Amino acid sequence: MKKPKVRKNIPLFVFRAPFLLVMVVCASLSLLLYLKYHAGFNNTTTYKTTSPTSNIYESKLMKFKIEVPSSYNSYEIEEGRDMVTLKGKRANIEITRNKTNFSNIRDYLEDSDERSQSSVYKKVYTIINNYDAVIRVLNAKGELGEGGKEYIFYIDNWAYTIFASSSEFWSDLDKIAYSFIYTPISPAVSNFKSYTSLDLMIKFEYPKTWYLNERFNDIIITTYNYLPGGKNPTPTSEQLLLFIHQYFLCFPTIEENLIDNSCGERGSEYRRTIVSKESRVAAGGTFYKYLVKLSDAEGGKIITYYFLKKRDQILLLELQSGLSKYQKEFDNLVDSIEFLN
């Protein structure tokens, strides 16, 4: 008679082991995926306004600063007189500035849209960083929302517009707009005070410790007590003497007038020579510096001329002394000049 087969008791963990192994593998993969996408293992940078990897860009000319997402590290930033362009590989984000006499953003937009014939798909009036603002999506070619997106800030009679045409860049546009800060020069901090000339139709800022007089359409700025029309000692190299007045052209260009400053009344022996010319963008226009060699009949010395030009308006800044000591203050004064018409 055969003995009955005895069934051995196999431990339960032997049957559960494959299942447990699968569970461990799945959990490990889940952990790796989490680390990859949430703990910085990937190459994508998440934008945070306080992130040390973000870039702060400040425009001294247009008086604002923004926080640019770090994804823009490879992009170029170009600045003009009233425009800053963030140049991308496929599209740009533009920041422009316009001076206006309107008292509020709604009146400004009504006039601006009428002149430009803009078609608005959607707009929202709001407050961003304590500034009056409007967010708009524009139409183009009859297609809703295809004309781009823009933020418009209205501050101190300036309209700042931040615009991107491609929706691919709207996420970065939003981040830039919400970081926008207006940075005007504060006289209390900079020790500058403001002056407006109704004769020359300009306004500007200059150090409060300097002296200013205006007489016969001439603005005279000095670092010492100066008596207009009186007897004044010749300034030393440590003293600044600056005259600002309108420059009228006899010939079509500044260069032609510098070469023949007598408007053709004197002979060729008085023709001058332009040695060099430099230019840069200033807040009020284009700033020029010319080195001009006088004719031999006038002694042949070299004189420096400074001009600020906006369209057909030209100011001559006649600096007679003090530049070596007050270069920074002179540059700040130039950059603060605004034409009122």
Domain extents in the chain:
55-182, 187-339
Looking at residue 130, what is its pLDDT? 87
- pLDDT over 70 for what percent of the chain? 79
pLDDT tens digits for 258-312?
A: 999 889 899 899 999 999 999 998 888 999 999 999 999 999 999 999 999 998 9
**What is d(CA 150, CA 163) in angstroms, rounded to the nearest whole number?**
4
Site of tokens 């991308």 = 88
Q: Which two tokens stand for residue 169?
A: 């860049």
Looking at residue 190, what is its pLDDT? 61
Looking at residue 135, what is its pLDDT? 95
Alpha helices, H only, the chain: 12-38, 105-116, 170-177, 187-190, 254-259, 323-336
More confident site: 1 or 314: 314
Looking at residue 259, what is its pLDDT? 96
pLDDT tens digits for 305-337?
A: 999 999 899 999 999 888 889 999 999 999 999
pLDDT tens digits for 223-258?
A: 988 877 777 778 888 999 999 999 999 999 999 999
The answer, yes or no, to whether residue 20 has pLDDT greater than 60, is no
Q: What is the mean pLDDT of residues 64-92?
A: 80
Looking at residue 65, what is its pLDDT? 92
More confident site: 189 or 212: 212
pLDDT tens digits for 113-167?
A: 888 777 888 899 988 988 999 999 988 654 554 678 999 999 998 999 999 988 8
The answer, yes or no, to whether residue 339 has pLDDT greater than 50, is yes
The CATH fold assigned to 55-182 is Protein Transport Mog1p; Chain A (3.40.1000)
Q: pLDDT tier at 46 (50, 70, 90 boundaries)?
A: very low
Q: Return the number of other C-beta atoms located less than 10 Å from residue 12's C-beta.
A: 8
**187-339: CATH number:** 2.60.120
Return the DSSP state at 217. Answer: T
Region of residue 324 (left: phi > 0; alpha: psi -120 to 50; beta: else): alpha
Segment (H or E) for 194: strand 192-197
Alpha helices, H only, 117-186: 170-177
Region of residue 264 (left: phi > 0; alpha: psi -120 to 50; beta: else): left
